[in-house]
Chains A and B, each alone.
Chain A
Amino acid sequence: MPTPLERVIFHRADAAKEHFHAVAADQALDAIDLGFSERNDGLGGMEQVGEVEVVRHYTRLSLLNWDIDRGLYPLGSCTMKHNPRLNERVAADPAYADAHPEWPATYLAQHKRIMSELAHDLATLSGFDKVCLQPAAGAHGELTAVFMIRAWHLSRGDTKRDVFLIPDSAHGTNPASAAMSGFRCVQVKSGPNGTLRIEDIQAHLNERLAAIMITNPNTLGIYETQFSDIADAVHKAGGLVYMDGANFNAAMGVFQPGRIGADVMHFNLHKTFTTPHGGGGPGSGPIGFNENLAPFAPDSGLPQSIGRVKAWFGQWGMYIRAWVYIRSLGSSGLSEATEQAVLNANYLRSRLDGVLNLPVKAATLHEVVFNDRDLPNKITTLDLAKRLIDFGFHPPTVYFPIHVPGALMIEPTETESLDELDRFCDALCAVVTEAAEDPERLKTAPHTTCVSRVDEVLAARSLDVRWTAAECG
């Protein structure tokens, strides 16, 4: 049965409708004068909606979404793995959901123990000496690390270091975080094998170099084979090494960033450690770092600390989910997760190599990047992605990494079964066949969704970002 296209909720609003009551009225208390005059603008036209209508509305809206519980969500770099129900159950427990950070410490003993165990576990897995949980998301962890790097240089009286080296394969958050801290970003090209080469950074190894930011495995899914040599060279030149930990799910149990030359790294609890993505958050971006940077951490308690980056303890609700996940799997299970993720990605690669063009042939770990070079009839990555939706799959990440033209970046994760992977490959093969036989079908896709291809240009040109009361007359 097709899902009806639910309009935004304001069409149902009516001041005459019954509204929700949290607690009962009280005659004596209700008579208390507040001593201020209440706003009289009708809250800009906000009116009531019936309780049953609210239930129907948000249920119907939810059905317009794709979600991992329905099937494969192969967004490369985003790591859409199964989010265990157990995590949700524990996080919703009032003992954890209703705790207030300003309660006396005795009431928070268990919460603090869980946070310290999580920090310890993340350090154990990554090989860093210390972990600070506070940052609110991956990009926030990056920014925190960049602040710490700046503070480290300044503490050494090294005031001239203003350059961050950033590979062309980097996530967009890397240069944005560096620039927000006042650094200049210098782009480094990847070599023909898709990895960084020490000779390409040689020219930048000078007294202006503050740090290099490296994603490892990189956004092509390839292990940066010269990582340790580059790290040594950067260190010798007086710089530091930031590792983007978005792909830490390919490292767990295999290599430890903290022991191969990285000084600091962020974790995405919402990627590697199964906390939900929730249609755009919340995330959680703890950082791991070695002793040299420890005094500068937000929570070091030392005068050199960069200071707090988020109010209170950070994202507790995500910590407890990640803690439950780690305890559910243990070291052996986490290593198996890495292995299965890499096996799944390489299986997809083998099945799809030749169906799509594989621009970089080097061995890949947890994800693989194809592109649209060989597609007939001027069919693009976007067309392919949109048509895949009609076959019952969410598209992979498209047009990223930006140094691969027409990139199609696939990350299946370890939680997909062989059957699901095969169905996905079959669907992609069918779409590629169709590209030759019926290209128009792709160019006008998707055909089965509640809306067809969306006019994003119009959205930016005639900006409509809020409903107004005038609309309902």
Chain B
Amino acid sequence: MSWPLNRTLTGLLLLIATNSAYCETSAAPFVSGFDRFARHAEIEPQTGGKLLISELSCTACHQTQRPDLQPKRGPRLTGVGDRLQRKWINDYLASPHSTKVGTTMPDLLHNLPENKKQQTIKALTAFLMAQHAEFPTIKATGANPVPHEFWKKGNVDLGQELYHKIGCVACHEPDEAYEPGETKISPTDKMLSQLDPEEIKELGLAATVRPVNSVPHGNLPAKYTRKALTFFLLDPELSRPAGRMPNLKLKAVEAADIAAYLLRNQTEANAVSDTSNNAALIAEGQKLFTGLKCVNCHEVQNRKPEQYAKPLAELNAQATHGCLGKAQKDVPYNPLDQQQRTAIQQALDSLSQENNSEPKQQLAFQMLQLNCYACHEREKLGGVGFNRKPYFETANHIDLGDEGRIPPTLTGIGYKLQKKWLAKVLNGKGDIRFHMQARMPVFPEKQVTSLPDRFENADQSQKPQQDEKVFPDHEKLASSGRIMLETGCIQCHPIRGESMPGVVGTDLGDVTNRVHAKWFREFLLDPGALKPRTRMPTFFPDGKSQNKALLDGDVDRQIASLWSYLKAGPKQPLPEKILAEKSKNYELVPETRPIILRTFMQEAGTHAIAVGFPEKVHFAFDAEQVRPAIAWKGRFLDAQGTWFIRFAPPAIPLGETPVLFPAGAPFALLKDKNQPWPVSAPDQDDVQFRGYRVDAAGIPTFLYRYQQFEIEDRLEVTEKQTLKRQLKIKNNHSSGAPGTLWFRGLTGKTLKPLNPGTMQNQAGLSVSISKPLAKAGELRTNDKETDWIIPVPAADNTTIEVTYQW
């Protein structure tokens, strides 16, 4: 197949696609909220009209002080010459409404004589193409991969998948060829899909099943370069400060993938940007840009508008000439349809009569402008469209019902969520539904900063109460709350990142920082009342507790205890069942043979080698100071920190009754018996650790060297839960250093001989050595510490047996 033919075919295909788009859609500007709600009388016509006034940026010329009616305005055109293709700009200026069907930009050149129009377009295009700005540098870090020229490396398939999964299709057209994964459709939806339109109408459910139209993309391959679209997706606010296209928190490669997908039909030829330069033409274009009032909507080079039209308040809704009429000379032309025109007229009429609207209406209006309704339902308005629901999935298709895959309702959200948490969510830092594929996007701060207050004002009949008011004296109940959680909560919710196996849900660890105490209480008492069709079961049917034993079955105190426990955070241990689950994965439980773990330990240092025995006596050897350092009984260790936690926390003995061994090396050559036990500095390895061997029973023998002595040190556990230590000392006399070799048996504040071979310290650790050896032992006190030292016979090979008991 040769290239030209291929191209012709693609062209044909595009033509057909464009034509079919013409058949279906009118050229009228597309405004989601208007199209979805005003057209079907689900909002008042004047609200729809007001929406058009702001979204069509009427007030960019017809100024008003009203904050709600400030114009959306068009994209910022800084650097547009590096972003868009010359031909597209040219075509768009010539005929905005056919080049991008549904665009909200009016046609400003419609009434110019043809040659003047061509010249104007040429000049404006030249001016716009001369706008250059470097694309921002995307900061790469160890946590953020940014491949070189990532915009060239997008993957169409991955892009298609992202586009259909993360929420793009809440507003934009899905690809018919894309099949969403298998998702369990809710029974209600299933029933609805089986009814015929008449029945649906009769049931009053028309709005629920009505397909939601898409915000048109226009011909993206003709418009953008791949780089430009990638950077636009990474930070839409940069060129569209109104935030109608929010930021979906894409990684660099994800943006490149989606751009590659959206531009998959782009041939290389038309993606080349133009750099031709004609100073006179550019200057002319610059003048026109202001003169034609492009500047009223589009920011470029910090230019300011110079002229406005009649202020909004002075407009005559019934005027036969002007923007609302047919295309007229010197008036911007918007191909409004009759319904849109009427709505704007009604809005204009209502402006003079209208006092300040209710907070609830203000909020709803803002949600219409930002199209929150594309994803979220609030007070029976909006929500993911019926035809879009299949694209909303959970990760790995876990069935959590619709609430696991569809963005949550905002009905009563100001009653439910704390204001500061709402703000966090809107700032893009409140992701808690990791099972949900759709992402909560980030809107420009300016656009949403008033929302938390508005939600609270609209949904709280009175100021939210402090949690002390809702749950008086709850602090004391935390430990009961820990038990309460086990009655059900942890079957579906993780706590602070830990959970029962297979549990996928929102983490409750932080819930007291998210929801109001009052809502928490009411929700627990009757989940369905606050959240219809939720999968959250009722644990207090008829307001009664199932658990009569805890807190006397007092429902109020039981709920308060949950709040209290969750509020205490890490100050309270995780629920017992979760801890048990965690230890199943990471607790080392020696069953038939010893288990060894090299790790960091508080008492055994950074060269610790812990040895756990099935007999439930364990010790840790310090391979730096070369000595057993600590022993304990009961449970051994949790290995999670050592194995998998990045910050390498020290392992903590899980068992009881830890006892410490003498600090410093077990052996020393002393000039005389009064010489203090040497303390080895970290840079002097007086004793060299040489490793260990593991015998057939799995017990390690530690090997070390001290001067001319080779030492083998082996500890095992006896049936009586004592530690039996065998020290084999080989004396290589040839390299002998002077002095007697001493073994330090025990140290302590006080030492007490129990019998001729046994010594016990104040901590209860007693040490036994064979009587003949012990006979030559010395007790000495130095600096408030007493130690018991035993001389080692000067034979070539000596074995000392020591028993530790506590």
Q: Do A and B come from one complex?
A: no
Instruction: Give A contacts to B, CB under 8 Å.
Output: none
Instruction: Give B contacts to A, CB under 8 Å.
Output: none
